[in-house]
Amino acid sequence: MPLRQWLARAHTLPGSPAAVRVAVDAADWLAAAGDVAATGGQLLALWATAHGGRVHAAFLHGGGLLVLELPTAQARYPGLQLLFPAAARMQRAAADLTGVRSDDEDTRPWLRHAAWPAGAHPLRESLTGTAPAALAADAYEFQRVAGDGVHEVPVGPVHAGIIEPGHFRFSIVGEKVLRLEERLGYAHKGIERRFRELGLEEGRRLAARVSGDSAVAYSWAYCQALEGLAQASVPPRALWLRALCLELERMQNHLGDLGALGNDAGFAFGLAQFSRLKEQLLRAVEAALGQRYLLDAVVPGGMAVDTDATQQRTLAQCLRHIGHEALNLRDIYDEHTGVQDRFAGAGRVAPGLARRLGLIGLAGRASGQELDLRCDRPWPPYDVLAPERCVHTGGDVAARVSVRFAELRASIRLATRLLADLPAGAVRTAMPAPAAGLGIGLVEGWRGPVMIALEVDGAGGIARCHPHDPSWQNWPVLEHAILGNIVPDFPLINKSFNLSYSGHDL
Amino acid sequence: MSTLHLATQALEIGAAIGTAPLFVGWVNQCRAWLQNRRAPSLLLPYRGIRKLFHKDAVLAERASALFRVTPYMVFGAMVLVAAIIPSMGTRLPLTIAADSIALVGLLATARMFMSLAAMDIGTAFGTLGARREMMVGFLAEPALLMVIFVAALISQTTSLAAIAEHLSSQRLALYPSLAFTAVAFTLVLLAENARIPVDNPATHLELTMIHEAMLLEYSARHLALLEWAAALKLFNYACIGIALFVPWGVATGSQGPAGLLVSVPALALKLAAAGAGLALIETVSAKLRVFRAPELMATAFLFAVLGLLVHLLLGA
């Protein structure tokens, strides 16, 4: 049955515009997912809820967001891995946390290492989590590659530099990578469980800290869901300031990444220059908004911070300066033979492969996947801003660098306009009590779409909150990007994706 | 063998061991300036070494004796190399111990110990590093030999001290054959000392390392000795380059103690310039893909052969 017939059965969800929910049974679950796949839609998130036993899948399709809700009275629900490869790890994570399992083949644990026993599930009421579990041996089956001269190189989770923990198992012959298998979950800290113990305002603080580099995106998504449930109308000035903060966060991350990419290619000059620019931006943001990293800027009902005209002018000046300097540095990167030799062709994900695997966000746009929520399903105030879409079809490290440069420029332009035309008025409104139910927040962070599914219970507490990071989609694609490349190019390719561990491991 | 010669020899070894970390500090300082960064202290390498000597050594389980003796072997080899390079004076009692070809052999011995020790522990990174080190090394060695042959042919001797003495007695001029070999030598210096564009001494990315990957399992005094030996190796290479290509100012036999008064400041100046040049090369280059390193070494070999041909065919 075509997709629009599912949409006809759907109920509108509060929060993100054009988000709808359809309750399905096991047969409809697969059929609806198949119809989404047939129309070129993609899986955004999949999560399960232990109490009440439901599993949710959120799909992005041409017009909006479709959330399927399947009650799982039976032990296993039909897996979506064959339709959407990205589903595999989300299903395994859901099984670890709630015990709600899919019938897909891979039943290895994903987020569960040895911290809690196989039969226990942190999101079930029965697990109190007060007493530490006895440490068991952590056995995990990696896919073995056999052949003459093939050997394995285990890397991490403890690395030589200060980066987040992740394990990478390379099967190599000589320097050439035959297979890479990731194992994540080392940064698991029980965020979803913690949400249920917090009030709605504290929940916003936790949401902002799911992945520190996307604090604005997460807190905005959380507030969007909550404000939808409470039917609060946020003042226009607050919406514009939120967009300003989101673009500033994008610039901060792009500046940091561009420097780090130069450094990983052995070009320390790039790191020194971009670090300088990033620090200038951080200081300008602190001067204008009072926070360097904007962890507590977006709050339910509006903004916790405001700026005055002088601060806006200073920030706009700083942005102009950074835009100018970044342009010069782009010339240096583009004309440096050594740097281009490292960037070009490394870690290529062809557009066809990117579509099949569901590559999303910034890395997706560098592989010809046009989706940018700010352009495709704009939420206020992006509906009137018409942001620029930056797409590249190269799919290699050079393309991801190029998209970062282009987005940096576009963000500076957008932020300058936001600063110039900032509406007057209040920045915060009082929050009415939210209705019980599921609300969805969906925001295009710097890395890609960030979603929060917030379920409020009758008493006004958090029944379930599932934060979704675009890294869930993109980590598995990294395993493909490295194929055929050589081992010493992996750090550069990994950095060009710069995926979140914390936002993924929860 | 006079007391002066013995004193020169002792001074040279002492200076090499004592100031090699300073040379590394100087290169790092120049690099920081060129990148618009505030530079770390010149003495930072000394502090690093001192810190390591104060720590307790941790050895991997099943580390063999080879793993433990390697730091001493490598350091010893580098001290011996320093002893036969005529950096301050050419009349060195120890030069008869080894000529320039044996010097290449000494460097190879150190490399062999390093690589074996890296594989001894059996970790993936050590083996990766050792393998890459051998790949770079076996290509750099012939180029280095070829460079030495050119200088040896010009001065009709393979003794480094005699070469330096012969070349410094020539008038100050640009020899086309030596100019070609100087380019070759610079490329070999970059590759052999794990500098950008072949290796990155500042990286923390274990998968890209060559030299650092071999040191990952070392700690405390062992690591200190290996860091010191690496500094000494860079210092030695710079001194070899100076002896071969800009020997003017070195104290020769006839000059007596007054020669040292000129040669020591001259060496300091030349090293300062060499360090600044090295920092410049490292700042403007990016790191090569690992499999581009052989191309770089082939280029070095080609330049050395060109130098040889220019000398043989044109006598220049």
What digits encode the pLDDT tens for the residues A433-445?
Answer: 889 999 999 999 9
Nearest to A272 among B36, B125, B200 (CB): B36
Asked if A338 lies within 8 A of B37 by C-beta distance, the reply is: no
Q: Which two tokens stand for residue A224?
A: 């969007």
Alpha-carbon distance of A155 to B206, in angstroms, equals 9
State the angle between helix axes of B3-34 and B65-84 in degrees (0 to 180), rounded to the nearest 10. 110
CA–CA distance, A403 with A349 (Å, rounded to integer): 14
Is the pLDDT at A116 greater than 70? The verdict is yes
Closest CB to B286: pick one of A160, A273, A342.
A342
Which B-chain residues 93-152 have CB contacts (< 8 A) with chain A?
A: 124-125, 128
Domain assignment present for residue A429? The answer is yes
Q: Flag whether residue A161 sits within 8 Å of chain B, measured between CB atoms.
A: yes
Give the list of residues 6+ apart from residue B131 with CB closer than 8 angstroms, or none.
Answer: none
Using an 8 Å Cβ cutoff, are B298 and B141 in contact?
no
Query: Which residues in B lie closer than 8 A to residue A269 (C-beta atoms)?
Result: 34-35, 283-284
Ramachandran angles phi, psi of B30, nearest 5°: -60, -40
pLDDT tens column, A173-226: 988 999 999 999 999 998 999 999 888 989 999 999 999 999 999 999 999 999
Of A159, A272, A490, the CB nearest to B37: A272
Mean pLDDT of chain B: 90
* A87 and A211 in a common domain: no
Find the closest chain B residue to A154 by CA distance: B124
- pLDDT digits 0-9 by tens, A285-304: 999 999 999 999 999 999 99
- CA-based nearest residue in chain A for residue B197: A266
CATH code at A368?
A: 1.10.645.10
* A338 close to B (CB below 8 A): yes
Find the closest chain A residue to B195 by CA distance.
A266
The pLDDT tens digits for A386-418 are 899 999 999 999 999 999 999 999 999 999 999
Cβ–Cβ contacts within 10 Å for residue B45, how many?
23
The share of chain A scoring above pLDDT 70, in percent, equals: 97
pLDDT at A132: 65
* Domain assignment present for A142: no
In a domain, A175, yes or no: no
- DSSP string across A345-393: TTT---HHHHHHHT--HHHHHTTT----HHHHS--TTHHHH-PPP---S
**Of A102, A119, A143, which residue sits at a domain end?**
A102
Chain B closest-CA separation from residue A264 CA (Å): 8
| pLDDT in the model for residue B97 | 79
Task: Note whether A276 contacts B: Cβ–Cβ < 8 A.
Answer: yes
Q: How far is CA A177 from CA A170, A214, A495, in A?
A: 7, 31, 17
Give me the number of domains chain A comprises.
2
Cβ–Cβ of A269/B34 closer than 8 Å? yes
- For the CA atoms of B49, B51, B52, B54, what is the dihedral angle to 10 degrees? 130
Closest-approach residue (CA) in chain B for A151: B124
Which of A135, A133, A121, A182 is closest to A156 using CA atoms? Answer: A182
Domain for residue A57, yes or no?
A: yes
Cβ–Cβ below 8 Å for A491 and B208: yes
Q: Does A142 touch chain B (CB under 8 A)?
A: no
Using the 8-state DSSP alphabet, how is residue B202 labeled? T
| Interchain pair B286, A491: CB under 8 A | no
Whether B195 and chain A come into contact, CB under 8 Å, resolves to: no
Q: Closest CB to A487: pick one of B196, B207, B285.
A: B207
User: Which of A153, A160, A268 is the closest to B35 by Cβ?
Assistant: A268
Chain A residue numbers with beta carbons less than 8 Å from the beta carbon of B202 are 268
Rg (CA), chain B: 19
CB A228 within 8 A of CB A486: no
Question: Inter-axis angle of helices B124-155 and B160-169, to 10 degrees?
Answer: 50
Using a CB-CB distance cutoff of 8 angstroms, which residues of chain B are in contact with residue A155?
A: 124, 206-207
Residues A448, A450: Cα–Cα separation, whole Å:
6
Cα–Cα distance for residue pair B228/B194, rounded to 1 Å: 14
Contact B5, B89 (CB under 8 A): yes
pLDDT-derived band at A252, boundaries 50, 70, 90: very high
B276 touches chain A (CB under 8 A): no
Predicted confidence band of residue A1 (pLDDT cuts 50, 70, 90) = low
Instruction: Indicate yes or no: CB of B292 within 8 angstroms of CB of A341.
Output: yes
Nearest Cα residue to A272 out of B101, B34, B106, B236: B34
> CB contacts < 8 Å between A and B, how many?
79
Is A386 in the B-facing interface, judged by CB distances under 8 Å?
no
- Cβ–Cβ below 8 Å for B204 and A161: yes
Could you tell me if A328 lies within 8 Å of chain B, comparing CB atoms?
Answer: no
What is the mean pLDDT of the segment spanning B67-82? 95
End-to-end CA distance of chain B: 35
Reference B238, options B22, B50, B63; nearest CA is B22
Nearest in space to A63 (alpha carbons), one of A116, A132, A8: A8
Cβ contact B200–A175 (<8 Å): no
At B243-279, the pLDDT tens digits run: 999 888 887 777 777 788 888 999 999 999 999 999 9
Q: Which of A151, A172, A264 to mutate to test the interface with B (most CBs of B within 10 A)?
A: A264
Residue in B36, B200, B290 nearest the CB of A486: B290
pLDDT tens by residue, B181-210: 999 999 999 999 988 888 888 888 888 888
- A266 to B287: CB separation less than 8 angstroms, yes or no: yes
| B207 with A272: Cβ contact below 8 A | no
Domain boundary among A55, A76, A102: A102
pLDDT category of residue B105 using cuts at 50, 70 and 90: very high
- Other CB atoms within 10 A of residue A149 CB: 7
Q: Chain B contacts of A276, Cβ < 8 Å?
A: 36
Cβ–Cβ below 8 Å for B283 and A269: yes
Asked if A338 and B197 come within 8 Å (Cβ–Cβ), the reply is: yes
Closest-CA residue of A relative to B209 is A488
Hey, is A294 helix, strand or coil?
Answer: coil
pLDDT of the residue at B5: 83
Ramachandran angles phi, psi of B274, nearest 5°: -65, -45
Residue A34 lies in a domain: yes
The span from the CA of B157 to the CA of B179, in Å, is: 19
**A154–B124 CB contact, under 8 Å:** yes
Which residue's entry shows tokens 């390093």? B114
Q: Touching check for A336 and chain B: CB below 8 Å? A: yes
Disruptive mutation site among A280, A335, A341, A490 for chain B (greatest number of B CBs within 10 Å): A341
Please check whether residues A347 and A447 belong to one and the same domain: yes
Contact by Cβ (8 Å): A427, A306: yes
Alpha-carbon distance B128 to nearest alpha carbon in chain A (angstroms): 8
* For residue A134, pLDDT beyond 80: no
Tens of pLDDT along A448-478? 999 999 999 888 889 999 999 999 999 999 9
Question: Bridge-partner residues for A22, per DSSP?
Answer: A68
Share of chain A above pLDDT 90, in %: 65
How much is the average pLDDT of A58-64?
A: 87
At A7, the pLDDT band (50, 70, 90 cuts) reads confident
- Checking if the pLDDT of A118 tops 60, the result is yes
Q: Is residue A471 part of a domain?
A: yes
**A167: Cβ contacts below 8 Å, ≥ 6 apart:** A154, A155, A156, A157, A182, A183, A184, A186
Chain A: closest CA distance from residue B219 (Å)? 14
β-bridge mates for residue A49, sequence order: A54
Q: Is the pLDDT of residue A63 over 80?
A: no
Please answer yes or no on whether B204 and A490 come within 8 Å at the CB atom: no
Residues with Cβ < 8 Å from B16, sequence gap 6 or more?
B79, B82, B85, B87, B232, B235, B236, B239
Interface of A with B in 87-106 (CB under 8 A): none
What pLDDT, on a 0 to 100 scale, did the predictor assign at position B41?
Answer: 94
The domain boundary, picked from A102, A123, A149, lies at A102
DSSP per position, B78-111: HHHHHHHS-SSBS--GGGGG--HHHHHHHHHHHH
Partner residue opposite A269 with nearest CB, options B35, B203, B291: B35
Q: Considering only alpha carbons, which residue of chain A is nearest residue B38?
A: A272
CA angle A262, A263, A265 (to 5 degrees): 70
Domain that holds residue A74: 3-102
What is the average pLDDT across A42-55?
88
Window B:3-32, CB contacts with A under 8 Å: 31
Would you say residue A322 lies in a domain?
yes
Mutate: best of A269, A276, A339, A492, partner B, most B CBs <10 A: A269
Average pLDDT value for residue range B152-170: 86
- How would you label A454-469 residue by residue, b for 16+ Cβ within 10 Å and e otherwise? bbbeeeeebbbbbbbb
Closest CA to A451 of A467, A473, A432: A467
DSSP assignment string, A251-293:
HHHHHHHHHHHHHHTT-HHHHHHHHHHHHHHHHHHHHHHS-SS
Answer yes or no: do B285 and A338 touch at CB < 8 A: yes
Let me know: does A458 contact A345? Beta carbons within 8 Å: no
Q: Are B208 and A488 in contact (CB under 8 A)?
A: yes
Instruction: Give the other-Cβ count within 10 Å of A386's Cβ.
Output: 12
What is the ipTM, given to two decimal places? Answer: 0.87
> CB-based contact (8 Å) between B55 and chain A?
no
Query: Kind and range of the H or E element at A439?
Result: strand A437-444
List of chain B residues whose C-beta atoms are within 8 Å of the C-beta of residue A169: none
